Structure 1
Amino acid sequence: MGTFFNRTETREYTEEEAEVLISMLPGFSGTGTSFTSAKAIENSDVFTIVNLLASDVASLDIDMVKNDVATPDSLTNLLNVAPNGLYSGGTLKFIITANALLNGESFCEIIRNPKGKVIALYHLSNSQVAIKQDATTNFRLVYDVNDLKGNIRRLQTTDILHFKFFTIDGIRGVSPLNSLKDDLSMQKDSKRFLANFFKNDTQTGGILKMKAGKLSKEARDKIRDEWQKSNAGVDKAHKVLVIDETFEYEPIEIDTEILKLINASTFSTETIGKVYRIPRHKLGLETSNMSLAQANLDYLTSTLNSYLKVITNELNFKLTANTGSVFKFDTAPFKTTDVETHNKIVIEKFDKGLISLDEARKSLGDKPRGDENGRKHFISLNYTTLDQLEEYQMAKAKSKGGGSDGQD
């Protein structure tokens, strides 16, 4: 796949690409605005939230469902196991989700063989892709992809997956970080204030007075720098301070309540979590009074499901049109509490005919039968529909009446 990577060639990296390479999460690139995703994830709250959501999405398998039955398919193998020769399906889902959460959108190129079958999926960095409207095709969207060698390839919408968790025009995704600029700045300044406070051994500053003489600005700056060099820092904490009678040092005191307020403040964390719709208990801000099953279900329905739908909607739009099949995430792990409860629920569903034998075996960790009996739904003879029950009662009543007349 030399179109994407050339391992034998070296090149100079741009400032944006260099920032991407040193970021903490794989595959991120700048958005071209006043912030970059690589910088944003230096904030621990943003990193935690993005890592949480992207990891949860990556941990779930995507099924191909037709007539409410999941069937193995080469496309699901690409999405779950091996989308290409570079990384796994879980990594692809992680990169797609993380980029869309940070940059507002993410891209994935669809590679097909000469017969039109999808054989690979490759993530594209946001900085590689330019979205345009082609006047020669009634202003349809096209994607110009820079292959990092200066070559531009034009892709049609059918050849690229474009994931957007938030959009106001249906064309470009909008990053949630746009609404967090002030909050991230405030949190950064607060942490910097605390870091400097403890770096200076909790000494917030002071006034060094010279009793006699008048100092020039250069002299004052030099004395200040030398004083800071000699006395500031944890290594010099609690050491004896020696000055002559021409100087007088007066420390500046700070209200410790301000430090407590800054250190205990969770406002920025709550705001970041609110933007990404993360429940407070997921961020450790409060203890949930719900059971584990209720907490997981609440997180799935109120938060995770909206992100999963965006991904499957794009997959269905580009990959399953007119096939009668749809992609769905298997969210069973978030509906399970413990092994014993899980097994009990599966068995109850099977006994009531809600799931097939193969579905039950798969949920219990056993290998499905894979035959006709495995796909069947079994149900007790004691169950029947209401109309059949009425017919049965009427037939029984007529049978009793006929027997009585015969005896007369």
Structure 2
Amino acid sequence: MGIFFKRSLGDNSQAVINYLSSPDTSSVMSFDSQQSLTQSDVFTAVKILSGDIASSSFVQRKNGRSDDLILEKLNVQPNVSMTPYAFLFAVTAQMLLTGNSFVVVNRKEKKVIDLTFAKPSQIVIYEDDITGELSYEYTDLGGRSRRLTSKEMLHFKAFTLNGKTGISPLYALKTELSMLKNGNNLLSAFFNKGIQAGGILKLSKANINNEAKKQIKKRL
């Protein structure tokens, strides 16, 4: 067994980094998956995709190999606090927003007890430098950490260049999200200041009385 080294969830190829990097970084907002949900278009897309997948059931492929107990948990009752719909919705939404989504498979005497949804911030991936085998360090909400094998972890990746870590599809919308944010900020500032336009009307070589001034104001 070789020495394990930490693999970052942001371990993307240099080609992708160069492609996504804007020459004018001041005009493009920094990427934040959670902040992206404040954009109505992104929120709607994630909601529809996550809802459609969460409404579906996992079916074993004919002649395929799978863990029937895991499939049963995904389709019936992942854990005591989440329904199958809520569980799969969270898994899919997290995958779309961050590129990675994790499910811890809890076993007792080789029997699947339940499934735990884990955020990417709770996971550290380690890769064996000889075999390429992955293991996962999972930190629960109580702060306790334990090392898990790939058989104890379901790792969903939205888009991947190495088969081991995922990339969020939202990276492709980096410029569009920046333009949408700037446009919304412009409209918000416009309506906050009001629609009335300021200005001064000048009449060259004219001498008008108060009644004439009132008539001009009414017409304007």
Which residue is equivalent to 1:43?
39
SS in 2 for 1:153: strand
1-structure distance, mates of 2:76, 2:199: 61
Amino acid at match of 1:76: L
Is the 8 Å Cα contact of residues 80 and 88 (structure 1) preserved in structure 2? no
Is the 8 Å Cα contact of residues 81 and 90 (structure 1) preserved in structure 2? no
Which residue is equivalent to 1:103?
98
Is the 8 Å Cα contact of residues 197 and 204 (structure 1) preserved in structure 2? no
Amino acid at match of 1:80: N
Which residue is equivalent to 1:91?
86
Which residue is equivalent to 1:123?
117
Is the 8 Å Cα contact of residues 158 and 169 (structure 2) preserved in structure 1? no
Which has a greater percent of helix?
1
Call closer, same or farther: CA 1:140–1:193 in 2, change over 3 Å. same
Is 1:55 the counterpart of 2:51 in the alignment? yes
State the 4+ residue runs in structure 1 displaced beyond 4 angstroms. 65-68, 204-207
Amino acid at match of 1:174: I
1-structure distance, mates of 2:100, 2:119: 10
SS in 2 for 1:45: helix
**For 2:138, which of 107, 123, 145 is the aligned residue?**
145
2-structure distance, mates of 1:144, 1:125: 12
Measured against aligned partners, the alpha-carbon deviations of 1:256-287 in whole angstroms (never above 9, x if no partner) come to xxxxxxxxxxxxxxxxxxxxxxxxxxxxxxxx
Is the 8 Å Cα contact of residues 95 and 101 (structure 2) preserved in structure 1? yes
Cα displacement (A) at 1:119: 2.1
Is 1:157 the counterpart of 2:162 in the alignment? no
Is the 8 Å Cα contact of residues 78 and 121 (structure 1) preserved in structure 2? yes
The aligned runs of 1:339-350 (5 Å cut-off) are: none
Amino acid at match of 1:191: N
Which residue is equivalent to 1:175?
168
Runs of 5+ consecutive residues of structure 2 not aligned to the other structure? 1-29, 201-220
State, as a whole percentage, how many aligned pairs show the same letter.
42
**Aligned Cα RMSD in Å?**
2.2
Cα displacement (A) at 1:57: 0.5
Measured against aligned partners, the alpha-carbon deviations of 1:79-135 in whole angstroms (never above 9, x if no partner) come to 122111110111111111111111011000011121x12221111011000111135
Q: Which has the higher contact order (CA 8 A, sep 6+)?
A: 2
Is the 8 Å Cα contact of residues 100 and 155 (structure 2) preserved in structure 1? yes
1-structure distance, mates of 2:74, 2:197: 54
Amino acid at match of 1:171: K
2-structure distance, mates of 1:67, 1:133: 31
**For 2:75, which of 54, 61, 80 is the aligned residue?**
80
Is the 8 Å Cα contact of residues 197 and 203 (structure 1) preserved in structure 2? no
> How many positions carry a matched residue from both structures?
168
1-structure distance, mates of 2:72, 2:173: 37
SS in 1 for 2:186: helix
SS in 2 for 1:110: strand
Greater Rg, structure 1 or structure 2? 1
Which residue is equivalent to 1:212?
none
The aligned runs of 1:262-301 (5 Å cut-off) are: none
1-structure distance, mates of 2:91, 2:157: 10
Cα displacement (A) at 1:150: 4.1
Measured against aligned partners, the alpha-carbon deviations of 1:49-87 in whole angstroms (never above 9, x if no partner) come to 00000000011122335569xxxx644331122111110
Call closer, same or farther: CA 1:206–1:149 in 2, change over 3 Å. farther
Cα displacement (A) at 1:43: 0.4
Call closer, same or farther: CA 1:204–1:45 in 2, change over 3 Å. farther
Runs of 5+ consecutive residues of structure 1 not aligned to the other structure? 1-33, 208-408
**Scaled by the length of structure 2, what TM-score is found?**
0.69
